[in-house]
Amino acid sequence: MAEVRVEEIRKSFGGNRPVLDGVSFTVADGEFVSLLGPSGCGKTTLLRVIAGLEHADSGRLSIGAREVSRVEPKDRDVAFVFQNYALYPHLSVAENVAMGLTLRGTPAAEVARRTADAAKRLGLEGLLERRPAALSGGQRQRVALARALVREPQVFLLDEPLSNLDAVLRERTRGELKLLFKKAKGTVVYVTHDQVEAMTMSDRVVLMNEGKLQQVGAPEEIYRRPASVYVATFLGAPPMNVIPAAQARACGLFGAVPDGTLAGVRPEEVKVGSGRPASVVLVEPVGSHTVLTLDADGAALRAVVPGSWAGGSTCKVEVPPASVHRFDAATGLRLP
Amino acid sequence: MRPTPLGRVFFGLAVAFVTAWSLAPFLWQVVTSLKPAAEVAAVPVRYWPSTLDFGSYAQIFKARPFATYMWNSLLVGLGTTALTTGLAAAAAYAFSRLGLPGGRWALLAILGLSLFPGTILIVPLKQLATRAGLLNSLTGLVIAYTALNLPFAIWVLKSFFDRLPKDVEEAAWLDGLSRWQTLWRIVLPLSAPAVATTAILVFIFSWNEFLIAQTLVSRDAARTVPVGIAMLSGVTVYEVPWGQIAAAVVVTTLPVVVMVLAFQRRIVEGLTAGAVKG
């Protein structure tokens, strides 16, 4: 295993806007890092640059102690799990898994041992002779994972590996994946647009937008202390309430809010039941909790209350001072 | 949309008509080849032989070097098919994947070249073959046929490669395959239907080609089947050996029919199923 160091990577496909605009971060040895962002933010391109499937226009990329910008994909010692699995359709599951080992001249006995071991870890024992076409989506996904694991590479690169699974299977596989890579002590770079995956699985999250890093940090940290309005409103469901200064002052919930700043509060930290009056505009029951959309003297505010809502069309609302986030209105950056 | 009963009847009739239209000349050859000599050109026409007579078949193999013609045709056909498919696969893969500068223009130029009618090429081909010492040689035919078939083969294979999922190839590079190994071990197996189609069409072209074979080869021992058939003659100038010609046509057509039937499953089979989530 090894650390991955990404320094000032730039990449453009010829459009007006670069796909990657000077991205830098480091993934520590054995760390699980998610690249999170909306579609088109450059996260998959960045992963492909790390794999060597795309060349960066400029910047440095190191895996372990080695600078690999000019190294062929096969010599970077990375394994890639593709979004659509990219199995070899004309080969059996066993041949799919063993391909990378056989080509590297691994002795046949060891290939057999490691293939069997990977198959066992992923529950593929009965399927080794099948072709990919005879497998379900979940099974194909596990073959793709086995193909990566069996190589015991320096770095695992995963491109939205769960996005083609149905909701139930995705939920279950998420936990399995986390355990699997923890046991393998792998350095993992994991691309996803799903914030729940990023938050639950990663040691750290790299949040990207429009080819730039927005924030890098532990899931808890970027949730608790978002570095910008973008991060604050990207994470969380429903996202953070961000209120302009004038409205924030008018509703009186946020204390002193100077001009040129924004006030924010997470819906789950808005206290409903005491404080100032507000009208309930919309009630969205989710089951375990209910999302209320409130109007507090012109400030639109969403709040999460436990269970179902029986409070009628008005309520009292309060925002604890410790829960208020402040941002610069011009730059969108967090104010200390 | 479900076909109406009337539509289904019409469809059946159309299929029957086209089948009959295409098969009739060949069936007539089969019947002719089995007639005793006296009945072949009898007036009025006899549609069915009075007895089945295999004499025509015996004659083309005994009295004429027809087995040699077939062997020559087979060698030229296999040589042309192997050379064309191999070169076309490599070229098509390069055009499809390497993003060569000017690749588009090169492809259009290749297509343009294939638009020249074959007859224009006869004289220059003969001169080239003469200078290269490839007159009366099967190698000469293989080279000429390969050159004529390459444009078509490159285009067919390239358009098929374009539709293959790139992810599978990228997975192969990460697994450690070189470009050539990727072509050989991943792309070609996945392209089996296209490769088989190309190979069959090239083989049929070569098997049936007359004009170039007639021009480049005059030595009887190096003749291919189509020229051999054209050279069949009767005992006198005024006699055309229709029975033998018919027998020769049947014998020549059978290998092609067998081959197409054998490869048919391959052609239809969608081998890429299961490569990516479907």
Task: State pLDDT tens for residues B147-190.
Answer: 999 999 999 999 989 988 899 999 999 999 998 999 999 999 98
Residues of A in Cβ contact (< 8 Å) with B165: 84, 86
pLDDT at residue B266 in the model: 65
Top pLDDT among B261 and B33 is at B33
Q: Which residues pair with A261 in a beta bridge?
A: A328
Determine, for residues A103 and B177 on separate chains, whether the beta-carbon distance falls below 8 Å. Answer: yes
Q: Cβ A51–B186 below 8 Å, yes or no? A: no
| A261–chain B nearest CA distance, Å | 47
Identify the burial level of B195 via C-beta atoms within 10 angstroms of its C-beta, where 0-12 means exposed, 13-18 middle and 19 or more buried: buried
Q: Give yes or no for B270 touching A (CB within 8 A).
A: no
- Inspect the interface and report whether the beta carbons of B190 and A100 lie closer than 8 Å: no
Give residue B270's pLDDT: 42
> CA–CA separation, A162 vs A81, rounded Å?
10
CB contact under 8 A, A100 and B174: yes
CB contact under 8 A, B165 and A86: yes
In 3D, which of B257, B111, B273 has the Cα closest to residue B192?
B273
Q: Which residue of B has its CA nearest to A91?
A: B186
Distance in Å, alpha carbon of B185 to nearest chain A alpha carbon: 10
Does residue B271 have a pLDDT over 60? Answer: no
Query: Looking up tokens 């072949």, which residue turns up?
Result: B40
Gap between the Cα atoms of A179 and A9, Å rounded: 31
Higher pLDDT, A298 or A214: A214
Report the SS3 class of residue B143: helix
Give pLDDT tens digits for A100-110.
999 888 999 99
> What's the CA angle centered on B63, arms B62 and B67, to 5 degrees?
55
B269 interface with A at CB cutoff 8 Å: no
The mean of the pLDDT values for chain A is: 92
Q: How far apart are CA A113 and CA A97, in angstroms?
A: 12
Over pLDDT 70: what percentage of chain B? 93
Q: Tell me the C-alpha distance between A143 and A192, whole Å.
A: 20
The predicted pLDDT at position B4 comes to 86
B275 touches chain A (CB under 8 A): yes
- Comparing alpha-carbon positions, the chain A residue that sits nearest to B182 is A88
Closest residue on chain B to A137 (Cα): B277
The full DSSP string for B161-222 is HHHS-HHHHHHHHHHT--HHHHIIIIIHHHTHHHHHHHHHHHHHHHHH--HHHHHH--SGGG
